[in-house]
Amino acid sequence: MEQFRRQETTAADAAHELGITARRFRQLYQDYLRAVARREEADWAPGRSGGNRQREIPVEVEDLWRRLFKAKPPASYSFAASEALRRFELTVDRATVRRWAHERSLNLPRPRKKDPAPIRRWQCARVGTLWQLDVSPHRWFPGDSVNRPLFDMLDDCSRFITGARLYEKENLYGYMDFLPRAFEQYGLPLALYVDYHSFFFTHIPDALTYLGEALHFYDVSLRYAPTPQAKGKVERLHQLWQNRLPSLFSAEGINDTGQANPLVEDLRQHRNSKEIHRELKRTPQEAWHIALREKRSDLRPRPRCPWWNYIWSIRASIKVDIHGTVPAGPQRYRLESCSPKTSLTRCEHRDGSFSFLLKPPRKGKHPIVLLRIEAQK
């Protein structure tokens, strides 16, 4: 220490001679200087070392990390740490994973430098006030040649992910399946924050799209983001999935949405309950429950409405033909209770079944079902 103080040696040489890191040497040197200030340098001695605190990584975790880093594209260090926690309840930080990978020559290319983030709008004060909804098209599966949409939705207040699901196409069937799943599990928000997609926005004044009418039936309004940057929270969630899911699907050999969606659901719940959000300094689930305990909630439970299953279906106005039949999928079915040319409402449900209503949905009324056709297995 005295030689370094007289500039007769360097920190790197002194650390090498003592068999410690340069960082540890500088820590000891600061303690030595404090002793010099007290004129106790002759009696100074370093304290006991904490020893080797590096944790032993279980074999099954190492096997998982090797698969993730050899996947194309390779997983990130943070996702490898997240998977160790989700699968094996092993808590490690990103630096530990990075050190482990470098020791085994599993170095990853440096990510490109990101553009500075725009100024962020802070979150709402109450859960359920605003849910951000967006779709991320991406080539999620290994060797995939088409972009498949991932539907994302999160609470603006708590960052709690209320829905994440892969579909083959972004269409009305996807939205009519995705939204009621989240509403049935968590309740109805006051508003959804969306873009100017034709599913949500129409240029006709005071007119609503098909999806907008379904939301309006349950008093859920739409707010429109002027730019993608305005929906920054859900856009960053897209980046999270794009950094994680392709690597995981490649490592696990998953190639279709049927296999992928149960895994996406597990990752969504893990993200909500286990991972600390860097801005909130707590997990989204904890932030969600704190807001509920403090009665900062605008959520409404799913209404006990007889129209629920019919609102979240694809409806069409049809007429009974001269033979007394109505179309449902590729077949036609006879309807004895109605005369020809009677106008009906046909509902195609999420499970593939069909219902024929005498009148379209109206508040204060009850549905009159004339015919029900169950989904074919």
Residue 160 burial (10 A CB sphere; 0-12, 13-18, 19+): buried
Q: C-alpha 245: how far from its chain's center?
A: 11
For residues 91-103, average pLDDT = 90
| pLDDT tier at 111, thresholds 50, 70, 90 | low
Q: What is the pLDDT of residue 329?
A: 87
Q: Name which of 174, 227, 168, 217 is nearest 196 in CA terms.
A: 227
| pLDDT tier at 209, thresholds 50, 70, 90 | very high
Instruction: Report in angstroms the alpha-carbon separations of 221 from 96, 344, 377.
Output: 46, 28, 37
Q: What is the pLDDT of residue 261?
A: 97
CB-based contacts of 59, cutoff 8 Å, min separation 6: none
Q: What is the pLDDT of residue 50?
A: 58
| pLDDT tier at 51, thresholds 50, 70, 90 | low
| pLDDT tier at 107, thresholds 50, 70, 90 | low
For residues 229-245, average pLDDT = 92
Residue tagged 């689930």 (tokens): 285
C-alpha torsion sign, points 296, 298, 299, 305: positive
Q: Is the pLDDT of residue 294 over 70?
A: yes
Region at 130 (left for phi over 0; alpha for psi -120 to 50; beta for the rest): beta
Higher pLDDT among residues 113 and 293, named by residue: 293
Helix (H) or strand (E) holding 101: helix 94-103
Q: Is the pLDDT of residue 336 over 90?
A: no
Helix (H) or strand (E) holding 32: helix 22-37
Q: Is the pLDDT of residue 191 over 80?
A: yes
| 187's tokens | 């309740």
Higher pLDDT among residues 324 and 48, named by residue: 324
**Residues 278/291, Cβ–Cβ less than 8 Å:** no
DSSP-derived letter for residue 230 is G
- One-letter identity of residue 48: R
| pLDDT tier at 19, thresholds 50, 70, 90 | confident
Residue tagged 């009519």 (tokens): 176
Q: Is the pLDDT of residue 52 over 80?
A: no
Q: Name which of 132, 140, 351 is nearest 261 in CA terms.
A: 140
Q: What is the pLDDT of residue 322?
A: 92
Domains assigned to the chain: 2-43 (no CATH), 59-103 (no CATH), 131-293 (3.30.420.10), 308-373 (no CATH)
CB-based contacts of 197, cutoff 8 Å, min separation 6: none
Q: Give the other-Cβ count within 10 Å of 307's Cβ.
A: 19
For residues 68-86, average pLDDT = 92
Angstrom distance (rounded) from CA 266 to CA 161:
12
For strand 343-348 and strand 314-319, is the pairing parallel, antiparallel, or unpaired?
antiparallel
DSSP for 246-310, please give it: HHHHHHHT--SHHHHHHHHHHHHHHHHHHSPBTTTTB-HHHHHHHHHHTT-B--BPPP--TTHHH
For residues 65-72, average pLDDT = 91
**Residues 167/149, Cβ–Cβ less than 8 Å:** yes
User: Which of helix, strand or coil describes residue 117?
Assistant: coil
For strand 131-138 and strand 354-357, is the pairing parallel, antiparallel, or unpaired?
unpaired
For residues 43-61, average pLDDT = 78
Q: Is the pLDDT of residue 17 over 90?
A: no
Angstrom distance (rounded) from CA 278 to CA 289:
18
Query: Dihedral (C-alpha) 184, 187, 192, 198: value to the nearest 10 degrees?
Result: 20
**pLDDT tens-digit readout, 259-293:** 999 999 999 999 999 999 988 999 999 999 999 99
Q: Where are the beta strands (DSSP E) in 107-203?
A: 131-138, 148-155, 161-166, 191-194
Q: What is the pLDDT of residue 47?
A: 75
**pLDDT tens-digit readout, 310-331:** 999 999 999 999 999 999 988 9
User: What percentage of the chain carries pLDDT values higher than 90?
Assistant: 69
Q: What is the pLDDT of residue 16?
A: 87
Averaged pLDDT of the chain:
91
